[in-house]
Amino acid sequence: MSEGASTAWAALRASLVPTFPQLLELEAGGALSMDLGSDGWLLELTPDGRLLCQYGVAIDDVMTLLSDGTPEDLGTDEIAKQAKYFIQPAVSKYRALLLKSGFSEQTEMNEEYVAVRFERSVDVTNSMAVQGLMRWCVRTIGVAR
């Protein structure tokens, strides 16, 4: 990260903390994240200017649900397919609204989890716009339904 980008990120981070005290920084200078209510959605803001609304499930949790204690009976591909199926109801509630609001959708899978991520670029030098979009995400997705 360049010095200018680093300064902009530090200023944005400082402006967000009072407004969103629940934001967590897992590593110094890294992304900020917070839960969006109790439904399992996560909001993340990255230093490179990406705002992510994501919903996922741990592979181990899916294996436990599907295998009734015998996860070795299931292949990784089958578990990933089932995980995608498992998260679709939660994602479908917000997909159209997020896409209409300028977010793009990606699915991320690895050995630990499967997640659907909605991503939108933000200008880290415009803290008011970033705060506004984050408030929109909190109001739209973070409300317990």
Phi and psi angles of residue 78, each rounded to the nearest 5 degrees, phi first: -65, -40
pLDDT band at 145, cuts 50/70/90?
very low
Most confident of 15-19, 38-42, 71-75, 76-80: 15-19
- What global pTM score does this model have? 0.84
Question: Could you tell me the residue ranges of all domains in the chain?
Answer: 3-141
Per-chain mean pLDDT for the chain: 86
Q: What is the pLDDT of residues 2-23, one digit of tens each?
A: 665 688 999 999 999 999 999 9
Does 3-141 carry CATH code 3.30.1460? yes
Question: Under a CB-based contact definition with an 8 Å cutoff, are residues 115 and 105 in contact?
Answer: no
